Structure 1
């Protein structure tokens, strides 16, 4: 029979505490659970059943506390969903592992457990450097160092379309560079086509990344270094220096050509101009001499004797003006005479060119009496300064 059934002589403690120690049994499990429930109800403000008549206590978990707990859980769930996206970032939200939306910078919310957000820095400038030795079109080996600067353009493609975008970038860069270098000669890679190679590699690499749908965009491709292999670098450096010297000599020769040819052409033009001027002067002088001779013939026909005398005096004057000898009439008894010979000799050269013109002008106005006196027999006497017997020669 149970411990709490009527008819027993001694009361029994359900926890084994009271009565004698002879007939002790383990407590009833149902009663222990009921007592535990009463204690929990008392702890949360519930009421336990009163004693008497073996009635079971009544009570339960209050509904108001349950609502509070649910509200607290809901608020915590909502707060857990807030997250911040930086200005240089974009976020991709997945719902049950599938793409749902793209999130812009700022404060955003996602449903925890149901949704997941992944951030990508789209403002960061990233770089990748490649150094390889490769074969050129003319079967030479060159060492090329290339730097690729890129950014994330499409976060969705970058995160979800491919598994390793950077690895694809590395392989695509190597493939594009080998294709372009393999289509160029060694001289073109080392010196002549560096800029063209850089542009071709950038264009081909961007095409590869777009076809693989990596979400990456190439900002710049920098061809840092192109050189021959280490084992033969000295020989190639000598060849490169020789070619640079050749180019320098060619440029110097072209500069010399550009400076000498115009100068020679200018001198030729000047000589031609001087020749034309000389031709015009000679022709003009000849025409003037011819016109003067014609005029002289006319005058001679009018007065032959006077014209003959004038021509004689003019000729003698020209001959004496070009001579280094000085003829002077010295009066009788005056044997000392000072002449500035040095000044006279210097002045002869300047006056000789103008004497012929002056004599020509004065020839038409010659006074017949000035050339000499008529001796009555129709002939004239020469001036005394030319035929006087007592003349003295001074050297």
Structure 2
């Protein structure tokens, strides 16, 4: 061993006692702190590892995204997933759950002008007013319910699903109402004939289904273009109303129609009563005329009874002899009533004047 090596070993031996584990209260405290910190980190790591193990509640589903991409869907029950940010769990309603689309518009805009429309900074809230095929304006208050049929598409489009549904609703309602008259949406003209009124009532009942079908058709078109929202419309409740000024005008029209109908009914009642009175008078006149005719016929029959009897006798006996007999029976009573009789023979110009009693 060289002297240099001996010196090196002696120097190392002299240094070793200086880096030995420190002793004392402060050293022990630091050791405890570091051990507790290490234990806490282990506990936090364990909690982080099981942070995505959860219970999925009933009427819900879980969509698991791994590094931001769709991975799987799990129904209600226990879900075991990698912790965030490796896997992200999104809870969505179950397939058969109906979700109500929140309303962006008021049910009825306030009457802040004579049209019943907003003309201030809230003018965009006039989106629920639509133009019908006969140039009428109607306000629709729609309550839309939808269901999630594609969890992947719904989660990926969740941030703009409801605004897109609003636009689809407005586009569908616009096209449907443009092909209908105002009376096909609400009762606007009750004076229409019965067959037209029945057809309009069927159109009003069909509007809900037609609107739901049109919205689902547009959603299906988006899905075919790989831009679907992952939802389908399950129910729509519609409430139609008129603008404030138009509503008052229609109320005035309905009041006038009701008054006209009432007056027409009164006129028909009066005409029916007069018709019944006229019929009674007609029947009474007919009965009176028949009675008078029967009486006159009886009188004429009694007055002509002798003539009739004479006519019957003339059929069985000589006419000249019968006339002579009647003349002889009646001439005496006649001559007693006259003052003077002038007899003229048509074949002889001689006249015979027979004086009689003074009248």
Alignment TM-score, normalising by the size of structure 1: 0.43
- Structure scoring higher RCO (CA < 8 A, sep ≥ 6) equals 2
Alignment TM-score, normalising by the size of structure 2: 0.47
Pair member with larger Rg:
1
